Structure 1
Amino acid sequence: MSTQMQADTTGALAAGHGLDWPHLFATRAERMKASEIRELLKLLDQPDVISFAGGIPDPALFPAEAFGAALRSALTGDTKGAALQYSVSEGYKPLRDWLVTRMGSLGIACTADNIMITSGSQQALDYLGKLFLSKGDTALVGWPTYLGALQAFNAYEPNYDRLTPLGNRSAGDYRETAQAMGGKVKFAYASADFANPTGETLPESARTRILELAEALDIAVIEDAAYQSLRYDGDEVPPLLALDIKRSGAIDNTRTIYCGSFSKTLAPGLRVGWVCAAKPVVSKLVLMKQAADLHSATLNQMAIHTVASEGFSAQVAKIKATYQARRDAMLDALARHMPEGVSWTRPDGGMFIWVTLPEQFDGAALLAESIRRERVAFVPGRAFFADGSGANTIRLSFSCASEAMIEEGIKRLGRVVRGG
């Protein structure tokens, strides 16, 4: 190569041109895919689109004034130095103490040492994937399941098997299937209350079966409790971790890892969640936290603590009343506007209704047609299945649409389905 060609090549690489980046990426990068939901959220900026896509809280319900006062207080008193300083990886102690009381109200007796604050429960899922999964191991998940969990786990190159808590598959069958794929079963992941995307809740019998299966396989259970506070109808069902404690005697004897979040109750933008689990698990997660981002933002934790301490119950009551009315409006509109052959879930809480269309439908194609013809958005269901199945399903979120918008949007969507 001539001196000039070498100079040109060096200059191009220095300018960021011509480098073959993919061959430098780890193999796990091949499993990192864009979220269909995150892309669809861009539609929220288009005022003529009625969106049932984003499973996000209504910003009109955020306790903004309370957070403003909490942030001013944290930055003006004796705490201002601590609010802006590095802190411990476990999390802000007063917030962890508040969570001890909160968990106790759910039947989960624990101490602050059983709790670590995370940057949203999504970070907890990423850490748990990293903690448990070696390449080729198997995670048991719902079919469908939360897309964000699949994205978090995918980076660690697992296989997936279908978690069927009310089915008749034996622990031996799960074990043999995992071994045939070159690894071990490491955990069962379940969103037990008002799951994303289906809105369904696992009955206590199914939760007990998951714990029995986990004991037989000697695996962990990851309980995603992001929507646990948003119950509108029916009786409370004990969390998996509460049932595990009842079986094992104490939290440090349990195999269930509870992932909680303030995103659906107080504010998602502050990115504050938590993990509650046996101390050996929390200790490992703390080491991961130290290596990843040292600690979650102290100022945000302080603000969450103040607002939660002063008005968590009142805030939850407010959002439940609003979301329940919207859920009811959507269920009523579906009953009136959807053609025969379409079915849907009837959730007792949460933010989602899961719609199953006749088998010839494809949710992605229906979405394109719906936006083009009727300016209505939703999430195609295929993204929630680890094997890419479920093409004839869609997820509707009612949290960010008024009752009038829900009525008009479902009427429009019904026209698209009838024409499909």
Structure 2
Amino acid sequence: MDIAPGLDWPHLFATRAERMKASEIRELLKLLDQPDVISFAGGIPDPALFPAQAFGAALTSALSGDSKGAALQYSVSEGYRPLRDWLVTRMASLGVPCTADNILITSGSQQALDYLGKLFLTKGDTALVGWPTYLGALQAFNAYEPYYDRLTPLGNRSAADYRETARANGGQVKFAYASADFANPTGETLPAPARERILDLATELDIAVIEDAAYQSLRYEGDEVPPLLALDIARSGSINTTRTIYCGSFSKTLAPGLRVGWVCAAEPVISKLVLMKQAADLHSATLNQMAIHTVASDGFEAQVAKIRETYRGRRDAMLSALRTYMPEGVSWTKPDGGMFIWVTLPEHMDGAALLAESLKAERVAFVPGKAFFADGSGANTLRLSFSCANETMIDEGIKRLGRVIRGGKTPA
């Protein structure tokens, strides 16, 4: 029997589909299933630290008695009200007074980034991002076909320069995106002056600020720096007169698999995002929100203290190993928290080629840094995650990686 040729799908796809690329990180996560590989690739929490017993009890409770109907039923798009009320208290502790009307529950903060890209970006508009920046943010924004310009908070670029560059590329500057605390991928934290400068620039350009706070709770040393949203409220007097949109997540503190995040912002922004939520998936899973609320209410601070202690030890082990085993010409960041250390190789080396050699010769995985640059630069960089490897594995893995780098078999 003759088989008709398949439909030519690509010619039907929207132009935005051309900018949808596979995540190098998601592909590298498959290496975690290979027991002989020491992986510093996945920026994911250690599952051994999940409060699984507490979630088991919370889910059982949610599915018992009078609550079981609500747990399994459709719900409001804004999110489970008790969880939103808990988040109001949490945000207040960060210097962000707000009400439940300023909170939207999302399916992880990644969904929030997608919604915000959809809300603000018309094809050709400019998004200001770090160089490097979070790959997931680039993937979320790419679908809306923006132009990326480099956000340099402490640089000397003027608002007029950004505005003219955006106009030359066919659009307007719409927002600045920043991961202010222990950023993915660099692990770096924006100091207070840099945060103030972002707000100054946003005011001059009359744009939004998207604050990605996924790692905000994971501080191991140093003084807390107020969130951008807190600084914005201090300037404007009220959350409803701010331009900063705070994206939070329970993925790095409680559990990523339940996919619960939130947006905290002025009511006009939340109202628009609620409409987008209604059109996309109606609401985040109520059962998951109820479980998160119970576990957070009963022991959020204790859980955060536990993971901080563990990750601090792993960060210290990786920094020590880097000092011991890395050859001259290699440098790295020294983060105060989070899950990542950013490594810069000599100019002649290529991170992707190094990964291939490292897997072949030493069975060590990491993420090449090029993926985190909107313009495809940064070939001589890489990201190391210490969250899922114990101190012994970290020492051995960095020793092996040092051997590969010393071998110099990775020309650009």
TM-score normalised by structure 2 residue count: 0.98
Within 5 A, what are the aligned runs for 1:124-139?
124-139=112-127
Find the counterpart in structure 2 of residue 275 from structure 1: 263
Find the counterpart in structure 1 of residue 130 from structure 2: 142
Find the counterpart in structure 1 of residue 89 from structure 2: 101
SS of the residue 1:78 aligns to: helix
What is the CA-CA distance between 1:385 and the residue it aligns to?
A: 0.1
Distance across 2 between alignment mates of 1:395 and 1:418: 18
Within 5 A, what are the aligned runs for 1:315-394?
315-394=303-382
SS of the residue 2:63 aligns to: helix
Distance across 1 between alignment mates of 2:253 and 2:66: 28
Find the counterpart in structure 1 of residue 148 from structure 2: 160
**Letter of the aligned partner of 1:67 in structure 2?**
F
Q: Which of residues 187, 201, 204 in structure 2 aligns to 1:216?
A: 204
SS of the residue 2:383 aligns to: strand
Find the counterpart in structure 1 of residue 105 from structure 2: 117
Q: Which of residues 19, 34, 41 in structure 1 aligns to 2:22?
A: 34
Find the counterpart in structure 1 of residue 57 from structure 2: 69
SS of the residue 2:132 aligns to: coil
Find the counterpart in structure 2 of residue 4 from structure 1: none
1:111-146, Cα deviation, whole Å (9 max, x unpaired): 000000000000000000000000000000000000
Q: State the aligned residue count.
A: 408
Amino-acid identity (%): 87
What is the CA-CA distance between 1:18 and the residue it aligns to?
A: 2.0
Distance across 2 between alignment mates of 1:63 and 1:33: 34
1:48-76, Cα deviation, whole Å (9 max, x unpaired): 00000000000000000000000000001
Alignment partner of 1:193 is 2:181: yes
SS of the residue 2:77 aligns to: coil
Distance across 2 between alignment mates of 1:47 and 1:244: 47
Find the counterpart in structure 1 of residue 159 from structure 2: 171
SS of the residue 1:113 aligns to: helix
SS of the residue 1:196 aligns to: coil
Distance across 2 between alignment mates of 1:361 and 1:92: 50
Distance across 2 between alignment mates of 1:61 and 1:246: 36
SS of the residue 2:210 aligns to: strand
Distance across 1 between alignment mates of 2:215 and 2:183: 7
Q: Is the radius of gyration larger for structure 1 or structure 2?
A: 1
Runs of 4+ in 1 over 3 A off after TM superposition: none
TM-score normalised by structure 1 residue count: 0.97
Gapped regions of structure 2 (runs ≥ 5) = none
Distance across 1 between alignment mates of 2:188 and 2:346: 20
SS of the residue 1:79 aligns to: helix
Gapped regions of structure 1 (runs ≥ 5) = 1-6
**Letter of the aligned partner of 1:302 in structure 2?**
M
Distance across 2 between alignment mates of 1:337 and 1:120: 37
Distance across 2 between alignment mates of 1:159 and 1:98: 37
Distance across 2 between alignment mates of 1:129 and 1:377: 31
Distance across 2 between alignment mates of 1:125 and 1:158: 14
What is the CA-CA distance between 1:95 and the residue it aligns to?
A: 0.0
SS of the residue 1:108 aligns to: coil
Find the counterpart in structure 2 of residue 51 from structure 1: 39
Find the counterpart in structure 2 of residue 229 from structure 1: 217
1:207-263, Cα deviation, whole Å (9 max, x unpaired): 000000000000000000000000001000000000000000000000000000000
Find the counterpart in structure 1 of residue 383 from structure 2: 395
Distance across 2 between alignment mates of 1:77 and 1:34: 44
Distance across 2 between alignment mates of 1:294 and 1:18: 34
Distance across 1 between alignment mates of 2:258 and 2:158: 42
What is the CA-CA distance between 1:19 and the residue it aligns to?
A: 1.1
SS of the residue 2:22 aligns to: coil
**Letter of the aligned partner of 1:297 in structure 2?**
A
1:164-210, Cα deviation, whole Å (9 max, x unpaired): 00001000000000000000000000000000000000000000000
Q: Which of residues 241, 260, 275 in structure 1 aligns to 2:248?
A: 260
What is the CA-CA distance between 1:77 and the residue it aligns to?
A: 1.8
